[in-house]
Amino acid sequence: MGWNGPHVTDDGWLDYAACRNHPVLGPDAWFEVVNGRPQGQGAQALIVCRHVCPVMQQCRERYHGVEAIAGGGWFDRLGHFKNPVDALLDVDQAAAYLGIDVVRVRRMMGHRLPVAIHRNGKSWFRFEEVVRIAKIYDPPHGTLRRYKLHELRGEPVCLDCRMTVDVNLSACAS
């Protein structure tokens, strides 16, 4: 990815934000901050924000909110920005990246997915370890679950997954 984001005017950066018209997450996903941290679709939105968005830095500099995911982090209920460590994912973010539930990630902790650090009562995992586990446990190509993971991670959507989505959209239109 040699591209460092678009050169845009002060008011045009939002047109390039990954959250705008995301193909699998609705606009409410970026506001799913529960008990002070992104959970559920909010954790998925944070994966997109941190790892996919080409204007993350502009968003961090210009957007301010309350209980919102933006700029590679999130704003708590008081409007304070929380910036996660780049190389670490908490259990919710790891589950979002892997496309599984938090309970399954907790079962993997320690033996399959080593905990990098315990901080503030939370377990944090190295991003590269989560990527390694994803290569083992990813759903097969040609499934809607895998298509969603392609989109959340910013991966090119493979032909098998694209065809599955097209077939499902055709079935819904009938």
Give CA–CA dist 114/124, Å, rounded. Answer: 9
Q: Which pair of tokens denotes residue 151?
A: 């989109």
SS3 content of the chain, % helix, strand, coil (to 5): 45, 15, 40
According to DSSP, residue 27 is labeled G
Ordered domains of the chain (ranges, CATH): 1-84 (no CATH), 85-137 (1.10.10), 140-174 (no CATH)
pLDDT digits 0-9 by tens, 127-142: 999 999 999 999 999 9
* Average pLDDT value for the chain: 88
7 vs 144, residue with greater confidence: 144
User: How many beta carbons lie within 10 A of that of residue 151, not counting itself?
Assistant: 20
Q: What is residue 6's predicted lDDT score, i.e. its pLDDT?
A: 42
| β pairing state of 81-82 and 88-90 | unpaired
- Segment 4-30 mean pLDDT: 79
| pTM for the model | 0.86
Q: Are 70 and 49 in contact (CB under 8 A)?
A: yes
